[in-house]
């Protein structure tokens, strides 16, 4: 038996039930599956769907503390927290401790169960402001922000970070323990460098090292696209949970597969029904004009995987009316109407929006 076979055998013997609960501070999380914060993706409709499909914790896309502080009306959306999203982490980013603390107070008031701080965004328009992954190269400021935020709120504070700015960086292993001392109740590590963006592979040997250095839960992020991969990462790192991002875009069924509840490929009717529900929820949240453009990337994500013809996906992206998109989907999968009706019966009756605040959202991850 070679080393790879031996490792596979070891992992099989250590299989972890992702349906087991865990906690970040006093916040109980029902499964070990976290839905990642993704800019331009993690709207409320995406988070609510993730909870229905088994994500134990869902996260908002990252929110600019400056956008919150200045009440900027020229924003991409409003922060909404619904009753069926909890537990929910709201992620903020910025470079000034005072402004981050104020933003944290406001997102706690909005209903966040956890305040998450972004030290991982590799996008230039964020890093050039001294925020995102740049803070891994400024440990004193990174710790000052965590200390200020932790002192400003009563909910737990978590931090999502990359390995560092440069390829081969080990900054996360130096900064991570210091962030815990400053008040972080949990850390999420995406062990790619900021320079890598999303290329190459996430080096989860760093995740294992981080787990050994801190006494708070560590969430493993990066390349979690299958149940086998999730099990391997959990078994070899000791992480408390895994974070799923791109694998769940337009494919909530991936979450069930990760949990060991795989029911096979969804039917066309199921796919169309979920997409229609997602469209309706997004229109409710963003309004027809903004939702129409926002949703176009989702059509390819949902209808890919060989589920619908490529031409059909392309046609939907050319349509500006979401009502017409819905009509086309129902025509392509007539049985979706019955599936959709059953889905809507299981949803909460009414959206328990606790607070709405203008926010500024920027690209990144």
Nearest in space to 34 (alpha carbons), one of 247, 210, 276: 247
The catalytic residue positions are 121
The H-or-E segment that residue 161 falls in is strand 157-164
* Phi and psi at residue 231, to the nearest 5°: -65, -40
* Phi and psi at residue 5, to the nearest 5°: -65, -40
Q: Give the SS3 label for residue 201.
A: coil
For 225, counting Cβ atoms within 10 Å of its Cβ (0-12 exposed, 13-18 middle, 19+ buried), the class is middle
Task: Give the C-alpha separation, 246 to 244, whole Å.
Answer: 7
Beta-bridge partner residues of 117:
92, 159
Centre a 10 Å sphere on the Cβ of residue 263 and count the other Cβ atoms it contains. 9
Cβ–Cβ under 8 Å, residues 210 and 176? yes
How far from chain centre, in Å, is Cα 226? 16
Alpha-carbon separation of residue 50 from 61, 79, 256, 286 (angstroms): 14, 17, 10, 19
Task: Give the C-alpha separation, 27 to 114, whole Å.
Answer: 8
Beta-bridge partner residues of 158:
116, 186
Task: Give the C-alpha separation, 254 to 246, whole Å.
Answer: 10
Centre a 10 Å sphere on the Cβ of residue 1 and count the other Cβ atoms it contains. 8
For residue 32, say if its preceding peptide bond is cis, omega within 30 degrees of 0.
Answer: no
CA dihedral 242→246→251→257, nearest 10 degrees, is -30
For 2, counting Cβ atoms within 10 Å of its Cβ (0-12 exposed, 13-18 middle, 19+ buried), the class is exposed
């Amino acid at each position: 038996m070679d080393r790879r076979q031996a490792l596979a055998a070891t992992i099989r013997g250590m299989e972890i039930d992702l349906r087991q609960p865990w906690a970040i501070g006093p916040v109980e999380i029902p499964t070990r599956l976290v839905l990642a914060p993704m800019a331009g993706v993690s709207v409320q409709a995406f988070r609510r769907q993730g909870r229905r499909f088994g994500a134990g914790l869902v996260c908002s896309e990252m929110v600019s503390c400056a956008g919150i502080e200045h009440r900027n009306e020229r924003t991409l959306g409003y922060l909404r927290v619904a009753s069926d999203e909890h537990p929910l982490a709201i992620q903020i980013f910025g470079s000034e401790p005072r402004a981050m603390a104020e933003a944290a107070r406001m997102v706690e008031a909005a209903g966040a169960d956890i305040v998450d701080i972004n030290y991982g965004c590799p996008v230039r328009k964020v890093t050039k402001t001294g925020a995102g992954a740049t803070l891994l190269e400024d440990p004193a400021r990174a710790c000052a922000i965590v200390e200020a935020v932790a002192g400003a709120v009563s909910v737990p504070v978590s931090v999502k970070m990359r390995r560092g700015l440069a390829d081969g960086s080990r900054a996360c292993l130096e900064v991570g323990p210091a962030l815990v001392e400053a008040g972080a109740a949990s850390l999420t590590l995406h062990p790619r460098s900021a320079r890598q963006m999303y290329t190459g592979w996430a080096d989860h040997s760093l995740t294992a090292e981080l787990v050994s250095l801190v006494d708070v839960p560590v969430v493993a992020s990066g390349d979690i696209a299958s149940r086998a991969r999730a099990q391997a990462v959990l078994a070899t790192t000791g992480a408390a949970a895994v974070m799923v991002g791109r694998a769940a875009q337009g494919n909530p069924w991936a979450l069930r597969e990760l949990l060991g509840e795989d029911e096979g490929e969804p039917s066309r009717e199921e796919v169309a029904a979920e997409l229609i529900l997602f469209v309706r929820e997004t229109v409710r949240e963003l309004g027809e004009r903004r939702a129409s453009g926002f949703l176009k990337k989702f059509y390819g994500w949902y209808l890919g995987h060989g589920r619908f013809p490529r031409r059909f996906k392309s046609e939907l992206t050319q349509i500006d009316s979401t009502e017409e998109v819905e009509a086309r989907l129902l025509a392509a999968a007539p049985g979706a109407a019955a599936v959709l009706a059953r889905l809507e019966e299981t949803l909460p009756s009414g959206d328990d929006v606790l607070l709405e605040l203008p926010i500024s959202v920027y690209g990144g991850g």
